[in-house]
Amino acid sequence: MLTQADLEDVEQLARQLGYDWGTRVREEYQTQERSPESWPGTLQQARELVDGAFGDQAAEEERETLAMLVERGARRAWRADP
């Protein structure tokens, strides 16, 4: 279980993880000259990124929150100007 201070740090890392993911996907689509209007990623993919990045450091309920932060970060990057 994470302390409140640890959780805040991990949440920031999750946001950055999502932003980086969104940037990579946007760049891949631009390279292929494809551009769907909405974010193509899923919450399940975000969960998998969280599991890979944080493993057992976070409890189940914390991991779901982190996955949502990853997904939101990715959406933010998707909408950002390159």
Question: Is the pLDDT score of 7 beyond 80?
Answer: no
Cα 50 to its chain centre, rounded Å, is 8
Residues whose CB falls within 8 Å of the CB of residue 56, separated by 6 or more in sequence, listed in order: none
Average pLDDT, stretch 31-50?
A: 90
Locate the domains of the chain by residue range: 4-79
Mean pLDDT for 43-51 is: 96
- The reported pLDDT for the residue numbered 2 is 61
Of 76, 62, 51, 61, whose CA–CA distance to 7 is shortest?
62
Chain centroid to Cα 74, Å, comes to 5
- Using 50, 70 and 90 to split pLDDT, how confident is the model at 1? low
